[in-house]
Structure 1
Amino acid sequence: MSRRALTLLLAGLLVLALGVVGAFRPVPYVVLSPGPTENTIGDVEKKPVISIKGRETYPTSGSLSLVTVAYQGGPAAQIDLLTALRGWIDPTVAVVPEETIFAPNSDPGQVEEENAVEMTNSQDSATAAALTELKIPYEMVVTIVSTEKGKPAEGKLRKDDQITAVDGKPAKDVDVVADMVKAHKPGEDVVFTIARGKDKLDVTVRTVADPEGQSLVGVRMQAMYKFPFDVDINVGDVGGPSAGLMFSLGILDKLTPGELTGGKQIAGTGTIDPKGEVGPIGGIPQKMVGARDAGATVFLTPPDNCAEAMKSVPDGLRLVKADTLHDAVLALDALRNGQGNVPACAAG
């Protein structure tokens, strides 16, 4: 073999070796793919997803399915370049920069804790929204789950403190408390009125700026409710807040005579607050694929996700816009009765 041929061969082998090594190097991306669906009026692992005790319930039919997004990657287990490349050529998945899913320098344990808190909040908000729709009264109090190490609230506010007011104004829910803190400039004081056991205290905490320049004190909060009967939701390892709308519909279906779905396979997504307002979520293309693969023909969609959903809706899946829980109930009533006045998503 000539020296030139040998040089070319060695160079080719070196390029190949570098390519193989590079293909398995970790990259800061996350692959999003369709995750499992769960019928909120059905069972998971032989247990009802929604169990209600202390109140009369009624038979249901069809499905009201929550949808999820599975992901590969993240701070704890970065994917390699080859996995990212496979994702880029698969139309049913998305490959996104890691920072769009996880906060910079986020701790995996903290992410799991936040997802668990968001899921618990979502379930409670869903129950509250269903009871609000049915005009059944309940009580709510904002409770501190934990304080962040090194932040101003550490050592001043405690786990299980109940926030009753901020700067003298009632703490109506978690979002209201967060907004009242953000209304301050970084470096200003916030006065929390709290119930700690049998004591009522005013605690002053100075705000600091988050990476976006908004004020925070470093607390994780959760709305704690006192409902007139027990509602237990069992979804296994699913985390995050995006199943709120479907939880509410499942609770409503069980608490009211008649069958909300009319036997249809309904899926959907969206956060929900105690008033029944539906909020946007992420991963809508992957969630629609998962819904259609599970047999759904109707997909309840938050209004702020409609434009994105219209760009990639799978064949055979009808998008129904759900601004509120009440609107979603009216839409399902219309579908069940064969009426045409069902709010649809429109391309943005």
Structure 2
Amino acid sequence: MQRRALTLSLSGGTVAVLTISAFLIHTPYAEMSPGPTYDTLKSYSTESGQPAKPVIAISGTETFKHDAGGELRMVTVEVSQHDYRPNSVEVLSGWLSDDKIVVPRTVIYPEGQTAQEATQQNTALFDDSEDQAITAALAAKNIKPLRTDVLVDSVTAGSPADGKLQSGDVITAVDGTALAKPDDVHTLIQKHKPGETVKLTITRAGQSQDVSVVTAPSHDTGPARAVVGFVPRTRNVFPFDVKIQLDNVGGPSAGMMFALGIIDELTQEDITGGMKIAGTGTIDADGKVGLIGGVQMKTLAAKRDHATVFLTPAENCAEAVKNAPSGLKLVKVTTLQSALDALKTLRAGGTPTMCG
């Protein structure tokens, strides 16, 4: 009896050690789960204590508010934070869960990417998505840009531009030559040899100023080129102002829903028809809707928040139907126009092109 008791005691101790180890061993995985959804036609406060702001703010032209109770919800996915490593128990729990996905960490955070770089990348993708959505939406309303500005998207740490340029600066001239097109920035800077000074005329907070920067040699292959050390992006300027105001959300996947929200506010007819619509998809300036990640988690988020229709990029349809929540119609879209056509069909009581 004593020997048996000892054996059981040792086995129990081994189990205890294994259990403790499972909680202590951190894994190279990340978790994805359904995140918040936001109706692009409403106002939100994503910062505690801050007043609510409309997701889409349009000024300088006539807009329309509709009272039928329709929604155009963008959806998000919550992911493990950059510095968090789930333990073995959490990973196993995620694999067994219906509302979580476990993926290799590098799927979300590429090898060597810092937390700051990840945040900057997601912010840049969101900003670009915003610009593309505005351009696509206004093109659908036959509204063309007045001009295209070149902005500083980000500044490379330790570069000549560090401390002189800021994200959001609008570059209007290089060495006194006004920019005729966005590509002129690189063309004019590269007329210099590394080590020479270039004068950039910028607009910051509504004020024009000149900034002199000593160029540095590029580090790519081939002959050294003069570089300043910033990443540019373009932004179309229209006859009226359109802003997308949603803090603490990153990435490009809400582009299509932002575009639909803008169109709804500029259209006398309610394009939702009073329906609770959610959706996802990147968008480009020509209105093409593109592939996104985490679609299964996004359909769950949409269903949780009472959507009945989910506008799904065609490239995501096969994955979306695998775990589609009951009662959620997965509508296939390829372009902004196809999404508008699908909503028109739904308003008329018809059936648009579906996934599956």
- Flag whether TM exceeds 0.5 (same fold): yes
Aligned amino acid, residue 75 of structure 1: H
Distance 1:248 1:107 in 2: 31
Distance 1:218 1:13 in 2: 58
Sequence identity, in percent?
39
**C-alpha deviation, 1:77, in angstroms:** 1.7
Aligned amino acid, residue 71 of structure 1: V
Per-residue deviation, residues 106-136 of structure 1 (Å, max 9, x unmatched): 1111111211222122112111111111111
Matched, 1:6 2:6: yes
Matched, 1:141 2:149: yes
Aligned amino acid, residue 317 of structure 2: C
Q: How does 1:267-282 map to 2 (within 5 A)?
A: 267-282=278-293
Distance 2:269 2:199 in 1: 43
**C-alpha deviation, 1:234, in angstroms:** 2.1
Q: Which position in structure 2 is the counterpart of 1:127?
A: 134
Contact 2:172-2:201 within 8 A present in 1 as well: no
Q: Of 320, 328, 336, which aligns to 2:331?
A: 320
**C-alpha deviation, 1:205, in angstroms:** 6.8
Distance 2:219 2:285 in 1: 28
* CA-based RMSD: 3.4
SS at match of 1:260: coil
Aligned amino acid, residue 23 of structure 1: F
Q: Which position in structure 1 is the counterpart of 2:355?
A: 345
Matched, 1:295 2:306: yes
SS at match of 1:27: coil
Q: Which position in structure 2 is the counterpart of 1:332?
A: 343
Contact 2:150-2:235 within 8 A present in 1 as well: yes
Matched, 1:96 2:99: no
**Once structures 1 and 2 are overlaid, which stretch shifts more, 58-67 or 249-258?**
58-67
Q: Which position in structure 1 is the counterpart of 2:55?
A: 49
SS at match of 1:246: helix
SS at match of 2:303: helix
Aligned amino acid, residue 343 of structure 1: T
**C-alpha deviation, 1:141, in angstroms:** 3.4
Distance 1:246 1:56 in 2: 21
Matched, 1:66 2:77: no
Aligned amino acid, residue 143 of structure 1: L
**Once structures 1 and 2 are overlaid, which stretch shifts more, 248-257 or 74-83?**
74-83
SS at match of 1:26: coil
Aligned amino acid, residue 244 of structure 1: G
Pair 1:14–1:339, CA change in 2 (3 A): closer
Pair 1:105–1:331, CA change in 2 (3 A): same
**C-alpha deviation, 1:25, in angstroms:** 2.5
Unaligned runs of 5+ in 2: 46-51, 174-179, 187-197, 203-209, 222-227
**C-alpha deviation, 1:220, in angstroms:** 3.6
**C-alpha deviation, 1:31, in angstroms:** 1.0
Distance 1:34 1:25 in 2: 25
**C-alpha deviation, 1:204, in angstroms:** 9.8
Q: Which position in structure 2 is the counterpart of 1:230?
A: 241
Q: Which position in structure 1 is the counterpart of 2:123?
A: 116
Distance 1:239 1:194 in 2: 33
Aligned amino acid, residue 353 of structure 2: P
Pair 1:250–1:272, CA change in 2 (3 A): same
Pair 1:161–1:65, CA change in 2 (3 A): closer
Matched, 1:82 2:89: yes
Pair 1:18–1:208, CA change in 2 (3 A): farther
Contact 1:161-1:195 within 8 A present in 2 as well: no
SS at match of 2:123: helix
**Once structures 1 and 2 are overlaid, which stretch shifts more, 108-117 or 282-291?**
108-117
Aligned amino acid, residue 275 of structure 1: D
**C-alpha deviation, 1:144, in angstroms:** 3.4
SS at match of 2:77: strand
Pair 1:28–1:65, CA change in 2 (3 A): same
Contact 1:88-1:94 within 8 A present in 2 as well: yes
Distance 1:25 1:84 in 2: 11
Pair 1:225–1:148, CA change in 2 (3 A): same
Pair 1:143–1:232, CA change in 2 (3 A): closer
Per-residue deviation, residues 294-317 of structure 1 (Å, max 9, x unmatched): 111111111111111122211111
Contact 1:36-1:290 within 8 A present in 2 as well: yes
Unaligned runs of 5+ in 1: 178-192, 210-216
Pair 1:218–1:105, CA change in 2 (3 A): farther
Distance 2:106 2:341 in 1: 38
Q: How does 1:175-190 map to 2 (within 5 A)?
A: none
**C-alpha deviation, 1:156, in angstroms:** 7.7
**C-alpha deviation, 1:206, in angstroms:** 4.8
Q: How does 1:184-263 map to 2 (within 5 A)?
A: 196-197=201-202, 206=218, 208=220, 220-263=231-274
